[in-house]
Structure 1
Amino acid sequence: MRRWWREFTGLVLPAACGGCGRPRTELCAGCRAALLGAAPRRVRPAPEPDGLPVVRAAAPYENAVRAVLLAHKERGALGLAGVLGSALADAVRAGAGCVRGAGPLLLVPVPSARRSTAARGHDPARRIALAAAAELRRTGTPARVLGVLRQQRAVADQSGLGAGQRRANLAGALEVVDGSGRLLAGGRVVLVDDLMTTGASLAEAARALRAGASADAGARWKNTGEQALRAAVVSASPSAFEINRN
């Protein structure tokens, strides 16, 4: 039992820092600062896909931040979800004042491919979104997670695909669960994900949300311009920060 417990705690509470690998049970001060130390900024990929909402990111996808995200996503370091959720909450908060409407913030995670979720044993974006919503509530901002997006067809593995190939791979891949329009009408919608590289996933998720809201006869929530929907991610490609054109 002791050996089993050590193996289990190694997954949920890593013995080494998830960023630099130093012996710790949480992120060291330097890696935490890399993730949470700067104000979230607007990010834009190049080329920018059609329909991409305004996106804010907490930190560039490099060095310690990249290591932390990979440890959570691919190596099952689930204990890192809390600090990643704090970073996502910062990015959500940075853009929340521009989100139209009233009510709580509704964090809509971009769903992982079913095959990826099965292989990893969890959906990283959803787990981080739940942690972000909890952090927002803890600091006085009403928020909850709405898992209203789902895959309606299989997609290929995105790794190794270029920006255009990713857009083609994801085109029409997502849909909104029937009857979600009223849920989306109950607050200010923010699309969330752990990482943005080309922006293809967020653009497809935004398309599906727009189509779902328009198709639901009872939906008050609409998205007809960039001011009506926002997105937030933990991290984005460093070049997306450089192209920032606020």
Structure 2
Amino acid sequence: MRDWWRALAELVLPGECAGCGAPRTVLCDGCRRAVRRGPPRPVRPRDAPAGLPPVWAAAPYADAVRSVLLAHKERGALPLAAPLGEALAGAVRAALGEDPAGEGGPAAARGAGARDRPVVLVPVPSARRAVRERGHDPARRIAVAAAGALRRSGTPARTAAVLRQRRAVADQTELDAVGRLANLDGALGLRPGARALLPADGRLLVVDDVTTTGASVAEAARVLREAAETKGTGVPFAAAVVAASPGFFV
């Protein structure tokens, strides 16, 4: 109920742009373009954690993009999930070898042989305490919006929120790269019944709103690989995020 009223308030009384503070709009045209700035590119964190799959990002995590992501995550600006989902969908298409804009072209032709196979987006889960405090799971909400954008452009996509926190973890924002790896080591596991949601022949991607060290994405990929070995599910071959640290773009 709280999410419904919050979303309604944002739509009726948009206030100011989440990226630059321009009045009377949730997201101005300039900041909307910044979120989808140029074609998505591969990123690789320095000292990337073991097991990190190839990662594609739509934009650098800086300036307006950072403000928009924080507004959605921490301030509950729920209408921002739609443009953020569009950006994530572009990163997913790039990871699949399809046209990031969803409009065909040479990249789409390269991925045409696999386009009939389902695309399954597995969001990195937020800690249960964080979900309670925020009133929503940001990565999951953006993943749902991205799956919708992919379907509208002809890519059969859905989300599978099959991961869960197995133990309490510290707030990642207070930790360096080494601390984040230790904090998340073994922290994730599969939800009961997850196998039925992970087809063996689907194109499986880990998705998140932002990556700064790759620790969360690597831990999620580890769990899914173990599921593939023991339960016969699909193997995550890539990851896609809305934004990544600016220095990590390849």
TM-score interval for Structure 1 and Structure 2 normalised by the shorter chain? 0.7 to 0.9
Number of the residue aligned with 2:53: 53
- Out of 209, 217, 232, the position equivalent to 2:240 is 232
Number of the residue aligned with 2:66: 66
Query: RMSD across aligned C-alpha pairs, in angstroms?
Result: 2.2
The residue identity in structure 2 corresponding to 1:133 is A
Q: How does 1:79-94 map to 2 (within 5 A)?
A: 79-94=79-94
Instruction: Determine if the alignment matches structure 1 residue 196 to structure 2 residue 204.
Output: no
- 4+ runs of 1 displaced by more than 4 Å? 5-8, 98-102
CA contact (8 A) 2:56 2:94 kept: yes
Shift of 1:26: 3.1
Matched residue pairs, number?
Answer: 231
The residue identity in structure 2 corresponding to 1:143 is A
TM-score normalised by L of structure 1: 0.88
1:7–1:183: structure 2 CA closer, same or farther, 3 Å change rule? closer
In 1, Cα distance between equivalents of 2:39 and 2:228: 32
Identity level (%)? 61
Shift of 1:180: 2.6
Q: How does 1:78-227 map to 2 (within 5 A)?
A: 78-97=78-97, 103-184=117-198, 185-216=200-231, 219-221=232-234, 223=235
CA contact (8 A) 2:44 2:55 kept: yes
Gaps of at least 5 residues in structure 1 are: none
Q: What do the CA deviations read for 1:156-208 (whole angstroms, capped 9, x no partner)? A: 11112111111001000001224433432251101000000010000000001
CA contact (8 A) 1:106 1:190 kept: yes
SS of residue in 1 equivalent to 2:210:
strand
In 1, Cα distance between equivalents of 2:164 and 2:182: 18
CA contact (8 A) 2:10 2:26 kept: no
1:12–1:115: structure 2 CA closer, same or farther, 3 Å change rule? farther
SS of residue in 2 equivalent to 1:159:
helix
CA contact (8 A) 2:85 2:142 kept: yes
Instruction: Determine if the alignment matches structure 1 residue 18 to structure 2 residue 26.
Output: no
The residue identity in structure 2 corresponding to 1:127 is R
